Every structure is written in C-alpha cells, then in structure tokens.
Structure 1
Amino acid sequence: MAHLSRRTFLLSSTAAGGLIMLHPYSARAAAGQAHLRVLSTTDLHCHVHPYDYYADRENHTMGMARTASIVNDIRAEATNTLTVDNGDYFQGNPMGDYIAYSRGMAAGDLHPIIAGMNTLGYDGGTLGNHEFNYGVDFMDKVNAGAEFPIVCANFARSLGATPREDALHLPPYVILDRELTDGAGETHPVRIGLIGFVPPQIMQWDRAHLEGRFAVRGIVEAARAWFPQMLEEGADLIIALAHTGISASRHEEMMENSALHLAAVDGIDAVVCGHHHLVFPSDRYSGQGIDAAAGTLMGKPAAMAGFWGSHLGIIDLMLVREGGAWRIDRSESTTRPIFERLEDRTVRPLVDSDPQVIAATQQVHEETLEYVRAEVGRTEVPLHSYFALVADDPSVQIVSEAQHWYVSDILKGTEHEGLPVLSAAAPFKAGGRGGPEYYTDVEPGPVAIMHVADLYLYPNTLMAVRITGSQVREWLERSAGIFNQVEPGAADQPLLDPGFPSYNYDVIDGVTYRIDITQPSRYDTDGELVNPDARRIVDLEFEGAPIDDDAEFIVATNNYRASGGGRFPGADGSTIVFEAPDTNRDVIVRYIVESGTIAPAADGNWNFAPADGATVLFETGPAAMRYLGEVRARGTMIEPAGEGEGGFALYRITL
C-alpha cells in the first residue's frame, strides 16, 4: 500500500521534529487487527495554490497545496493509509481554463492538478461531472499523466444489455493488492477495491461533448452489477469513490445525489462522496439513514471533504483478520479543515502550503496570473454599477445576457425547450456598507477574467426555474421592496431602504415593467407579505403585451435565489428545473470568450412610474459623474444634488 508507515508508540516524531498523536485504532491494535485510514479530496476544481485568480489575491480557504501540507502528518497518525480523489479535479478556476483554452494539452503534457496529485501520491481517483466540460479527448490527455488509476463504472461509449456489458470508457474499478501492518507489526495481504461513479446528468450538462458518442447508467444500477464481480475477484474491502451528493429523497434510477442509496447496496464498505461542495459528517445533513454523529450513511462510513481543498476527508477503519480475510470492526469519519473563520469573519490559515506541490506547479501558477490579467474579450461600453439600483444598468445587463445565452442553449432538447427564457440578475457592488468606492467600474476596452469577478462577486452556480407569469410579477414585487414609499409631488425624499441588500434587488430581463413607488411595498425586507393589496409593479409586459399570469417561463438565476435565498415568490427550491455544472462567473467568462466583443447596452426594460413630479435622493460613488450623461440619455431625469455622507455623492431623480 502506498504511504504505509509503522508506528508502535502512542507518540511519534514528525519530520519537523514535532510529535504526532497516533489514532487510537493504531495505538491499540493487536495481532490480527489493523488500522486503515482512507484520506480523500473532492471537488478540487484545479485549486492547487491558495489563490483566488478572480480577485487576483491569496485566499486562505482554498488550495490543494494547503491540504497536502497536512496529509503527511495525518498519514503518520495511522499505521496504514490510502489516499483517493473523488472527482471534479481539473476544471473550475482560471488555471483550469488557461490550460484548456489557452495553453492546451499536447500528448505527454502534465496537467498542474495531476502534477500536484502525483507529488502527494494518490492511490486512486474517479471522474466528476466537470471533467467533461472541455470534452472527453481533453479529459483523456489530462488523465494520461496520472500515476494512479482513475475508474468510473457508469460512463460508457455505449450501453449493453446489462451494466457488465457496457463499453465503458474507463475501467469500472481497480483492486489494489497491498499489505496491511497489524498491531503486532506483522504484515498481511489485503485486496482493496476502488469503484467510481459520476452523476448521470453529465449527458445534459455537457450534451455538446457527449450526445451521440457516450452514454451513462444510474449510479446505484451500476453498483449493483459490479460489486458482486469485485467480490468474486477477491476484494476484501470495496470503497466507492462516488461523485454524488447526499439526499434523503426517495431513490430514482438516474438520481443525481445518490450517495445514501449507494451506501445501501450489498457489498459496499465505505463511501467517499462529494459534488455538493459541503462537509460530511456535519449537521448540514439529516434524514433516515443519515447519521452525522457516527459519520455513516445506511450504517456505512462516509466522508465528504468540502471543496477547493478546504478540507481533507478521513475514514478510519479498524479491520480484523479472520479466516484469511478482513472485515470492518469499527469506523470513524471526520474531516480536517485548512482554515478557521474567526469571530470578526476574517480567515486564519491553519497550515502552510506544501513546498513540493507549490514547486511542481509554480510555473503554471505564474502563467495563470498572466492569463487572468490578460484580455479575454472586449467591451465597447463601460460596465459600471453606480446607478444600478435606480436605472437599467450595463453591469447587470451583461450578467443577464450571459445567463440567457447559457440557459437557452442548455435547455434545447429537453421538455422545457420552447418556453420563453427570462434572466434575473442583481447588482452586487453597489456602495452601501462597502463604501463610496465599492462599485463595478470597467472602462471600454479589454476585459480580463479579474473584471468578471468585479461583475459577479459570488461563486454562485447558475440555475433555472420554471414559473408562471403571476410568479414573475411577485418576484419583481419582492425585488421592488428596496425602494421607500414616496409621496406624490413631494420633494427630496430618500429613495433606497438602507436595510435592503443590493443582491436581493433582481432585475428581470425579457419583460418590461414600471415600478410605482407611491405604493407601499407588498413585501418587507425579510420577504414577508405585509401589504397584500399593494401593487408596485405596473405595465408588466412580455413581447409588447400584458403578461399572461398563467403562461410559463424559464428564469435563469443563481443557486442562492432558486433555492429560496431572499424568499422570492416562485423561487423556493420547488421550481428548479436545471442546476448547471458551472458557476455564474464561468458562464460570463465563456460568454465573453464566445462573443469576442460585447456591448451590453442597458435596454431600459424597467423604470419608475411618474409620481406627480416628486423628487427622490440617493447616494452613489463620486466617480458616477463620468457616466451621468449616458443615464440621462436613457430617459432618467437625474441630476447631481451635492455631497452625501462618508465620501458618497448625492443625486436627485425627478419622477
């Protein structure tokens, strides 16, 4: 077994001269008993260095190099160890995009994430859904450099009559012949089976790369077929590397998040899961068959190690040798983080980066920095958010356009094809507590990936919901709660509610509407319906006609909103019809790359309803003056109104 180390004392010296406490399983194992520790990573997404390429600065919450730095110590705590990866390893940040879109992968090239994994010494891995984002040929070139087996039992070139007859693209499993050292210091042979699974939804998410060339099986269906064969071949233990999340929902054949049901299949001994970008064991998961305290799914030990290298998953198995075979006597599941968040919300790293991993990937890191700072497209117009809360805005427009482009294409060939696609987006950098400089401001000319982070701050994942016209109206009513109620004809009233976060101010593109702020808001800041008779959204139209309340629409948005964030009507998690494998940032980058040059002109699809000449005041950054003319040109009666507080500039709008 790779990375075996024998420790016969409770305390053991590390290379750095410190002491490592042995895990009780190793410290107390007797003859015929052996402690096996399974270490796992998942959803690394090419985060090798602790660096946020979007923000162009170090980030202590990420990086396989940080995770790697604790692996040796964690290995030293156990007599026998195995290290595995659970997929989504080479796509997901600008380093991954740089390799795929710019540098390329020639035969014999070593991908940086594989270089890091080889340095750390993995024993096996499987595919995640993001491995298909650049196409199967690219994936094969990346995987060719791995010094460890990569397996997947449910992804095939074609399906046979049974799973065992499928023409699989990769081996479904591997059986590792290793030796275990027991508590008496004697070595014994062991056969450890690793089997991999990928979400079946790859056929939808990467249809352009896979349709007509490949096929998938359901995860549980494939497991039921292959586990008996692994046992027939003498596997003492079967560990599933399942790139799938944990859901207590009833099992369905092509279920995306099926780790719980996979654990129930006869023959499996432990489950390494992922895909959710969460941690297990944790109180984030509950339900029948899920025991977060014991770290088990259906009684089987399981671990999910966060994402981007944030944690290392650990499954500790106390094995007993009986009749020449091994069985699990006891187990523990835990995770180890690489950082902690302090009370003041700052982040403190718990470990330094592993110097060997850094050295193996430093050149590509530096090349990525050049890439992230380089042009990925151009904009013919400025992209700024100084007036995003009071007028249709180009910084929100580009997000909406990218989301619409992506969702319109991805839904082709599905039951939702043909439904009109709308797009909801909100300004993130809009002053407030962030201060008078906290605005997006990209001048016409080159657009770099770092500018995309300015447009879209959060690592949300794109989602789409299917809702009715009446729900579109209510969504907008909820959004319009950012505005204070004003008195018709009155002068210089405050426009914005300072307690309403800008990220909850959605503009929906694809419809036109006006907002009558002489009416009270239907919803309060928390999303409670407080004025059921009030209507701020007026003249709501789709394609030039009043919207049909019973008509159905697809709305492109993000996972926060679609899952109930902000408590928006029509977006409570029950209306989701598509969960993209890509972040909203990635979608914007791909849209700009595809377009070459963008010119996201604010189309004025919303404005304020007249209020008998009432005037309202709002604050924005002083640099907004540069763009005042373009906002006026779109019909907003706006003018400077002096200095605001704390460095802000004050503006007046006549309604």
Structure 2
Amino acid sequence: MPQPRSSMLLLTLLTGLFACSPPNEQPVQVKLRVLETSDLHANMLDFNYYSGQTDPSLGLARTASLIKAARAQVQNSVLVDNGDLIQGSPLGDYIAQRGLAEGEIHPIMLALNTLDYDVATLGNHEFNFGLPFLYQTLAGANFPYTSANIYCAEVQCRPGVKQGEHLYPPYILQQKHVIDTQGQPQQITLGYIGFVPPQILSWDKQHLAGKLRVDSIIDTAKRLVPEMQAAGADVIIAIAHSGLGHTGVEVDPMAENMVYALTQVPGIATVLFGHSHAVFPAAQFQHLPSADITQGLLNGIPAVMPGRWGDHLGMVDLTLQQNAGEWQVVSAQAQTLAVFDNATQQPNVEADAAIVAAVAEAHQGTMAFMQRSIGMASADMYSFLAQIQDDPTVQLVADAQRTRVAELLPPELQDIPLLSAAAPFKAGGKLESSNDAEQYIQVSQGPLSFRNAADLYLYPNTVVAVKLNGAELKDWLECSANQFLQIDLTSTAPQTLINLAHSSYNFDVIDGIHYQIDVSQPSKFNHRCELVNASANRIVDLRYTDASGKVYRDAEFAAKSFIVATNNYRAYTGMFAGTGSDKVVLELPDTNREALVAYIEQQSQYDAASDRYLSAVNPKADHNWRLLPLKSAVQLDLRFKTRDSAAAQQFIQANNYWPMTKLSSDNVGFAEYRLDLQVAAPAN
C-alpha cells in the first residue's frame, strides 16, 4: 500500500536530520501542545436556558477547566478558537438584541479573555448579527483574529480596511518562546491562518451583499502558505472553520467543507477544524482514505475537531525538531478531551470560576430576557416524534412563517399558492450522548415565554420566500426524504428508519400540500441534495387542493407555480431544488423567531384590562404528510430512537399517528421504539 505524501516526506526529513547530526549530539527538540475550542455558539456556562437547569455536558466554563489542566501538563502550549462563537445560545441572542454600548466588551469576550487565547478565526455564524456588531464584538478581544479568504468589497469596511483588502489579517506570525526537551530556551515562529466557508455570502446575504468578497478556502491556502513560509513561519497551523469535505481527487474549489483537501497542502503542519459539530479523531471516520484515527492524522497531518458547545477540547501534541536552523514536525498526536463521561454519566471536570464570574451579569440578563411572556398554548409542543410524523413544533413555525409572508407578499404574487417549509431543529442530534438526548423541544401547554420561542426556533434566520414550480417542489421533498433509510420489504430483521447522516434541520416539511413518503424506495438525493438515483421516487400522492376544491396532481402539479415561505439559509444556498438567489421573491428583515413570537401573540390575544390571555395558539399538526403504509409478505421490524422519559412516553402514547411499541432504553437517555407501517393509515 503506497504511503501518504506527508509520511514519505517525514521519513525523508528524519533520515536527513539524523545523517546531519554530529555523533553524540542530541538534536534540539521542543514539545508543543496546541489546544482548540470551536463552535462554542455562545455557550459560556454549563447551563441550558431552555430547561432552566445546569447541564454539565457543555459550556466553556467546563472546557476552561480542561484547558487549564492540559496547559499544566506541559511547558509549551498555545490556545486558539475556531469560530461560531457569538451566536447560538440565548445569551448570544440577548446581547445581540440589547446591543453593546460604545467601548463595552461583549461578555463572551470577557470570558475568553480570562483564558489568554493566542489567536482566533471567524465562523459563519459570526456574521448573523451584521458587520457593525461583529466589528464591535471582536474589538473587545485581547487576542488577534485571522481570516485569509474574506475581503472588503465596499469602499471601506472598517477603520483601516478598504476595498480589496483582507477584512482581518490573512495570517498571523507569532514569536513563541519555548523550552526544549533539554530545558533550554528556544524561539519558534508560529504561523496561523484562518478560513471560513464562502457560503456566508448566501447564508447572510442581507448583511453581507456588496460588502464582502469570500474566496476559495483551498485556493487561498495554496497561495498564502508559501508566502507565510517565506515570511519566516516555522510551523503553520491552519484554523479552518470547515468540515472534512470531499476525499476524491476532484474538489470543488468553492466547497463549504475543505479540511481533507487542506491536509494535502504542502507546508501546513496541523489543521484545527470545526463547523460540522463532530468529533475528530473518532471511530466514525476510520473509513476515510489515509486516515489514522489512533494518531489523529489525515494524509499524515495531525487534525482535530472538538465537537460543539464546549463539550470537547481539541488537543494536538507536536514534537518539533531543529535542523540547520529550521523546525520540522517529527511526531504528532491529535485527540479530543470530553467535559462529560457518557459511559458513567458523570462530569469529567467542574466549571471554572473565572468564566462564571465573567458572564454573571449577562447570565442574569439572559434569564430575565427568556422569561418575557408572549402568549398561551392550547397543547403540548414536544419534538419527540418530529422525524417520524407531522409534528406540532414544526407546524407552529410553518404557520407563523406563512402568516408573516402572506401579510407582505406583493399583489402580483398573491394569487399564487403560498406554502411554508420548516424543519425539526431539535430532534435528538446524533443519538450518541446525554447532551443529544436533551436536544428535543419540550414546551408544555399553558403560558409561553420568549424562552419557549427561542427553543422552538433556535437560529437568528430571517424570513424569505421563494417562487418555484411543482416539479422543483417535489425534488425539494425528495432530498428531505433522504432522512429515511431504505426499508427492505423482504426482511424480518430489525431495520432502522432514520438516516443519521441526514441532519434533522435538513428534513424540511412543506405545509400547504399533501404527500406521502415511501421508505421502501431508494433515495433520489444524498444528504447534500446531490443526485444519486434519477429514477428514484419516494414522494408519492403529491397533491395541492385550491380554495375551490380543485386538486392538482402529476403533470398539473409539476407545472403549477408556488411560493414557499422559508428562511434565508434555505432560500439562498441553492442546495435544495427550487432555492437559490434567483428564486427569491420576498426578503424580510424579520427573523423567523420574531415572526413566531408575533404569531403566538396574535393568536393568544392578550387583554390588558383583565391581565389575561383570551385565547391560545393551537399547535396541532395537520398531518399533511405521512409515511406511506407498507405492504409485505413478512412482518417488518422498523425501529427509531427518541427521548427516554416519562413525558416522552406519555406524549407518544397520546399522539402517535402509527402504532408504536417501546422496546428498550440505553444509558445515555434514548428509548428505542418499533413502528408498525403495515396497518391502514388514518385518513388525512
């Protein structure tokens, strides 16, 4: 088996190093530990603002304890953050809504400043609140930011940054004073280079259009890494807010996920990455070509990705050796450290007091912010079944989006059927940990607060509407249906229904039409909506009924025009059929969460005189979609997992569309159920 390029290069270097070393003279070596946080998403504390309880499985306060312990074990270390820092939890939303006074330091930066970060880069979610807020936030950091592939596109972006210039330094060279293995002082020039997905221009178009330019990650790396070497960088550390990406020879230069390709760029010593919220190295990636999960190597290069929300710390241990005045990596080990032990269900570390103190005031403000009353609900809204059947949490969001778009749709579009697309954002994650088991919406019947609205809609997306035809609409749904694994109608063995490779936030349900999903058929698209089987057909009985009662099916449906209310991320990416900037017909400044709050307040009708709500919002799912009943000569054993709790079991018993039987529970908070699709379905 041929060796990876970097492994062969390392062998050559080592041979040369030892050949050049005088007899009995030990080469100079330095042990350097590189620590990484990524995708903290404003989770500074070990606290769940939706449940109002401490959560020991997440938060920078816990990660900080790992950082301090890891530093104490070695003489030489550096710490970096890989972005998606300021958005993603209610604390981040609270500060963004409240705003920062002139000269005020963002509480998140107050927290990070206690840890003496060496450098950081930007994630895609840094741009969610607009550029002025981003500039003001980053100004409070006592560490520098680098972002190699973002350029200013307007006359002046911020003081000192003009059109055509990098928004933040493309790379940073830092002189690091270290102690070698013989106890002697040495100096190494560390080069840091950061990257962000080019797709930010689509995802946050309302904030960035005409203001920024974002180039290819891989093309930028190939151009700037040699420049960094020429400028004196001894060790180059790539901080890529990007996932693994394609492992083939042909790579789209503008792809979102580029880490595998980055590990093949000569001169990069290690890659610290994130964005996709996974943990690397891990067994799930052992199938990757040229991957060494034991050492944490990709193509011979150490690489690490530390999960999400502070649940892990990334750590790369490098052994550097000097030869003829140059430093080379002669060995490396990449790994992650967890704040919580899922096997024992016990925390590995306690919260760091300095982080807790740094955000104490913001935490109290967030608690008050979340308690603001917005209305009443006539029924429970739980997402325990959101991946199996039509769901009240998704239904409510879809209704709110459609209501808001209907109010502002231009007259020339008002005769076109208006639909709404929404997805279950919280439906158990990857089903791997107690943290995942908590990732369900649990909003009970009765009074609703802003905390509940934030739980129902996690992200600060904005309301956008697209115009498309029925054929495109069907392919949109075909991609969503990739969430289900194909069922073998001849097998009596247990078969899992949910495809965990397809994120639940990409399982769009489109309300206002009727359809069924045939899980016995192959998927037409993969989880990226890339065509894999042109003849596949999972979406069946697709139809639209107009106000007069006329039903559109087949060719009539395919030719008919529709408007779909959705969010800016979905509308502008172009990933799903019928989306993309050329399809957008309405773009609102309202966030989807604001539309949801307005809808709940409107439906609840608060009466100030009596200080009570006169009505309540009804979140009941209309079951406009369902799984197709299956016909088989054998008894099928179809299974799915959801939350294991008394509330979940009661909700499932009261709301299951299909017969469901609880089979077992695991040690991280999930229950496995059997689903019977071989019975007649209730009428729509």
Return the TM-score normalized by structure 1. 0.66
Task: Confirm or deny: 8 A CA contact 1:402 1:587 kept in the other structure.
Answer: no
After superposition, the C-alpha distances for 1:342-388 in whole angstroms (9 at most, x for unaligned) are 37xxx32111001111112212112111112224x456x64545999
CA distance in 2, matches of 1:321, 1:477: 55
The CA distance in 2 between the partners of 1:178 and 1:476, in whole Å, is 49
Give yes or no for contact 2:405–2:565 (8 Å, CA) kept in 1. Answer: yes
2:220 matches 1:222: yes
Whole-angstrom CA distance in 1 between matches of 2:278 and 2:623: 38
Q: 2-side partners of 1:99 and 1:83: how far apart?
A: 25
Deviation at 1:654, TM superposition (A): 11
What amino acid maps onto 1:202 in structure 2? I
Find 1:212's aligned residue among 202, 210, 213. Answer: 210
For the residue of structure 1 that corresponds to 2:261, the secondary structure is: helix
Deviation, structure 1 residue 107: 2.3
How is 1:51-200 mapped onto 2 (pairs within 5 angstroms)?
51-102=47-98, 104-158=99-153, 166-200=164-198
Find the aligned partners of 1:32 and 1:383 in 2 and give their Cα distance: 69
1 CA distance for matches of 2:204 and 2:122? 14
For the pair 1:449 / 2:451, whether they are aligned, the reply is yes
Q: In structure 1, how many angstroms separate the alpha carbons of the residues matched to 2:539 and 2:229?
A: 65
Partners in 1 of 2:417 and 2:301 — Cα distance? 43
The offset of 1:548, in angstroms, is 3.4
Correspondence for 1:322: 323
Alpha-carbon distance in structure 2 between the residues aligned to 1:269 and 1:393: 47
Q: CA deviation at 1:478?
A: 12
How many angstroms apart in 1 are the aligned matches of 2:66 and 2:340?
12
Q: Is 1:262 the counterpart of 2:262 in the alignment? A: yes
- Displacement of 1:510: 3.9
- The one-letter amino acid of 1:51's match is F
Q: Aligned in 2, Cα 1:592/1:248: closer, same or farther, shift over 3 Å?
A: same
Residue type of the alignment partner of 1:128 = G
In the TM superposition, what is the alpha-carbon distance from 1:90 to its structure 2 partner? 1.0
Q: Within 5 Å, which residues of 2 pair with 1:539-554?
A: 540-541=544-545, 544-548=550-554, 550=558
Distance between the aligned counterparts of 1:45 and 1:105, measured in 2? 18
> What are the superposed Cα offsets for residues 479-515 of structure 1, whole Å, 9 maximum, x if unpaired?
99xxxxxxxxxxxxxxxxxx999x99x9954434499
Deviation at 1:89, TM superposition (A): 0.8
Which structure 2 residues correspond to residues 617-632 of structure 1 after superposition, within 5 A? none
Residues 319, 263 of structure 1: CA spacing in aligned structure 2 closer, same or farther, 3 A cutoff?
A: same
- Quote the residue 2:252 is aligned against: 252
Deviation at 1:289, TM superposition (A): 3.9
* CA distance in 1 between partners of 2:166 and 2:481 (Å): 51
Aligned pair count?
519
Q: Assess if the C-alpha contact under 8 Å between 1:46 and 1:95 holds in 2.
A: yes
Comparing 384-393 with 217-226, greater Cα deviation is found at 384-393
2:531 maps to which residue? none
CA distance in 2, matches of 1:64, 1:278: 17
- Kindly indicate whether the alpha-carbon contact (under 8 Å) linking 1:500 and 1:525 is maintained by their aligned counterparts in 2: no
Residue 135 of structure 1 aligns with an amino acid whose one-letter code is G
From the superposition, tell whether residues 219 and 512 of structure 1 become closer, same or farther in structure 2 (CA, over 3 Å): closer
Residues 1:546 and 1:472: Cα distance change in structure 2 (over 3 Å): farther
Measured after TM superposition, the shift of residue 73 of structure 1 is 1.6
Check whether the contact 2:259–2:273 (CA below 8 A) recurs between aligned residues.
Answer: yes
The change in CA–CA distance for 1:82 and 1:402 in structure 2 (over 3 A counts) is farther
* DSSP-derived class of the 2:357 partner: helix
Q: Which amino acid is 1:448 matched to? A: F
Q: Say which SS state the counterpart of residue 450 (structure 1) adopts.
A: helix
Q: Partners of 2:147 and 2:592 in 1: how far apart?
A: 31
Instruction: Assess if the C-alpha contact under 8 Å between 2:321 and 2:327 holds in 1.
Output: yes
1:315–1:332 contact (8 Å) kept in structure 2: yes
Matched, 1:312 2:318: no
CA 237–426 in structure 1, closer or farther in 2 if over 3 Å, else same: closer
Residue 613 (structure 1) aligns with: none
Distance 1:168 1:126 in 2: 13
1:298 Cα offset (Å): 2.4
- Distance of 2:295 and 2:50 partners within structure 1: 38
Aligned mates of 2:539, 2:319 — CA distance in 1? 64
CA shift at 1:554, angstroms? 9.3
Distance across 2 between alignment mates of 1:541 and 1:204: 33
Please, which moves more after superposition, 263-272 or 62-71?
Answer: 263-272
Equivalents in 2 of 1:193, 1:534: separation in Å?
Answer: 50
| C-alpha contact 1:449 1:589 (8 A) present in aligned 2 | no
Structure 1 residue 214: Cα displacement? 1.1
Q: 1:74 to 1:422 in 2, by over 3 A?
A: same
Equivalents in 2 of 1:89, 1:391: separation in Å? 34
Question: How far apart in 2 are the matches of 1:392 and 1:298?
Answer: 44
Q: Distance in 2 between matches of 1:384 and 1:451?
A: 13
For the 8 Å contact 1:260–1:289, the answer to whether it is kept is no
Are 2:195 and 2:217, in contact at CA under 8 Å, matched by a contact in 1?
A: yes
Bigger Cα displacement from structure 2, 292-301 vs 188-197: 292-301
Once the two structures are TM-superposed, the CA of residue 450 in structure 1 deviates from its matched residue by 3.2
Alignment CA distance shift 1:78-1:556 (3 Å): farther
Kindly provide the amino acid, as one letter, of the partner of residue 262 in structure 1.
L
Q: Deviation per CA, 1:272-300: give whole Å up to 9, x if none.
A: 11001011111232423433333122221
Question: Whole-Å Cα distance in 1 between the matches of residues 246 and 378 of structure 2?
Answer: 47
Whether the aligned pair in 1 keeps the contact of 2:478 and 2:538 (CA below 8 Å) is: no
- Read off the aligned partner of 2:222 and give its amino acid letter: R
Instruction: Give the whole-Å Cα distance in 1 for the aligned partners of 2:271 and 2:542.
Output: 53
* Displacement of 1:194: 0.8
Contact 1:271 1:302 in 2 (8 A): yes
Paired letter, 1:300: I
1:217-272 deviation digits (Å, cap 9, x = unpaired): 11111112221221111111110111011023441121100011122122211111
Partner SS for 1:167: coil
2:75–2:179 Cα contact (<8 Å) kept:
yes
- The answer on 1:280 being equivalent to 2:286 is no
Identify the residue that residue 357 of structure 2 maps to in structure 1: 359
Name the CA distance, whole Å, in 1 between partners of 2:580 and 2:284.
22
Check the 8 A contact 2:419/2:513 in 1, yes or no.
no
Gaps of 5+ in 2: 1-24, 156-161, 407-415, 428-436, 485-495, 499-503, 524-535, 582-589, 604-616, 627-646, 652-681
State the one-letter code of the partner of 1:255: A
Between the two proteins, what is the percent identity of the paired residues?
A: 32
1:46–1:546 Cα change, 3 Å: same
Picking from 596, 603, 616, the partner of 1:592 is: 596
* Distance change >3 Å, CA 459–CA 323, structure 1 → 2: same
Q: Which of these residues, 29, 36, 40, is aligned with residue 33 of structure 1?
A: 29
- In 2, the alpha carbon distance for the partners of 1:574 and 1:166 equals 32
Residues 66 and 353 in structure 1, CA contact (< 8 A), matched pair in contact too: yes
Post-superposition offset of 1:406: 10
Counterpart residue identity of residue 367, structure 2: L
Say whether residues 1:511 and 2:504 are aligned partners: no
**2:181 & 2:483 partners in 1: Cα distance?**
63
Q: TM-score, normalised by structure 2?
A: 0.64
* Amino acid aligned to 1:34: V
- Residue 314 of structure 1 and its aligned partner are, at CA, apart by 0.6
Amino acid at match of 2:117: Y
1:384/1:395 contact within 8 Å kept: no
What is the CA-CA distance between 1:106 and the residue it aligns to? Answer: 1.7
Question: Which residue type is aligned with residue 591 of structure 1?
Answer: A
